[in-house]
Structure 1
Amino acid sequence: MATAQAAPSRFRHFRSLELVVGVFLIGVITLSVLFSGILFPDGGESMDLMARLVPPFQSLAHPLGTDPLGRDVLARVVVGGKISLTVGVLSVLGAVTVGTLMGLIAGYYRGVAEMFLMRFADIQLALPFILVAIMFIAILGAGIDKVIFFMIVAYWVHYARVVRGSVLALREREFILSARAIGVSDWRIIFTHILPNVLGPIVILMTLHVANNILLESSLTFIGLGVDPLIPSWGGMLADGRTYLQSAWWVSVFPGLAIMLTVLGLNLLGDWLRDYLDPTGQTSR
């Protein structure tokens, strides 16, 4: 009877509206970006000066209209998503790799390693993000690789703090003490027994930080500190269309909607993962 009751409880999570909407939004956007080279072989760069600022929904050739240079807005939104998603995913993967390793070391070994790493993290968290970004980009220059590297440096501390807190709670548990007692090496304990037990919070934080980093990349590009303006990106399209908001609103609105829907889908998935991975087995509703 207990097994029969547990099965519907597990499947209830997969009928969540958050999961359905999140997977749908992220699935559509990801597939569009992955097949952008097939859908739009020109990369959204073809110009038609005779079709400048065509309003949306008035031409089958340009369903979302055209920009001031006659380039198709739909093509540029889809192609630009490749840059934003690449920056968001790669920066999070780099930050979670560095932060998780630092958090495992600080939480398990304590002592000088913990004090040094955590005080460095506290100092970094105290620095204003936008001022550091301006200084960083001014020294190294703009570019996709620079933006990704900066986000890794800026956000590894979040993962380090979360992982360290989880490791501090786990390192004195009975199964860890038993492993030490039978002579299991520290690194095997860390990666075999501790790391799998801290993956839940890491995965949730990763999902939310991808959305956050997409917003940051768009913001930095919008103010001229991110991706090269010649490369299609959502932030760059917003910047290009800000002078046409009254006469050609669609140039900025559609990339803005792409950012909003992507971030919404990722946040919904993050909320669902938080509930699904909740150790109490209870949802927030």
Structure 2
Amino acid sequence: MNKFLKRLICISLISFYFLKVEKVKSIVPYYYFPTIKNLQKDSLSIGKNAYQLLYFGQYRDSLNLAKLAVKINSKNEKLWLILSEAQIANKLYKNALNSLNKAQKINPNMSEIHFAKSNVYLKISQQKNAKNSLETGLKIEPNNHKAIFQLGNIYLLNKNYAQAINMFDKSIQIKPDFWQAINNKGLAYFEQNKINLSIKLFESAISIQDNAEPLLGLAACLRIKNINLAIELAKKALAKNHNYVDYEYRKEQLWGEKLQNSTEILLQNKKLQKDVILAKSKISSSS
């Protein structure tokens, strides 16, 4: 009996000791020190979230997250690219260029950086720099149909229609269903008074994508030949995108003076007045 009691007391003391140790451990503060790998992983996750917010139009929140991602990991060119996109969305063009320059220092052979710089240069009306950036990017990635198309747009903007058409052709060769290049080729031909070619191109673009731009472009082409069809196409175009009623908006889409004049005459037609007034009211209500 005495031996049993001694054993019981001994076990109790040992248990008490371990319980005391656990209690002491429980009040000692625990600090988590993240590894570099964990920080990099977290920054990429934050960057991804920032990009998703851009997609949903939450530009300010996207910018804040992108800034945080870059603070955590300033050596990742993709994060700088995401930050630049958020800055562009917030119309912070100089900041965007600064971010892209930092990305370029990290990875000068990343074509997306040069293409993004071209986009910013165009927004601040530095066409020469935009062209240079596109050409640099295309040396790295020569078959990027969107970059070739954008180079064509710069030629179109400068009324160099032959070069613009050449670039659009190259873009279409890479991606035959690239309706935007087909459409803009139609814009260029109209300014060269090659209306029949423009008609074929706008029709081709519509067969791929029933978009407001080629619809209205085709309507402007058919204004003299077939006014009834032109009115029908114009109505459809304005219903799809009311912004095309606005001269300045069409100018932003690189419409030339000749196509603009033809469109303005068409939109003055009495049979289109209700559609024109409705489209303009939608622009006013959204501004």
TM category, shorter: under 0.3
Larger RCO, structure (CA 8 Å, separation 6 or more):
1
Larger Rg: 2
User: TM-score with structure 2 length normalisation?
Assistant: 0.26
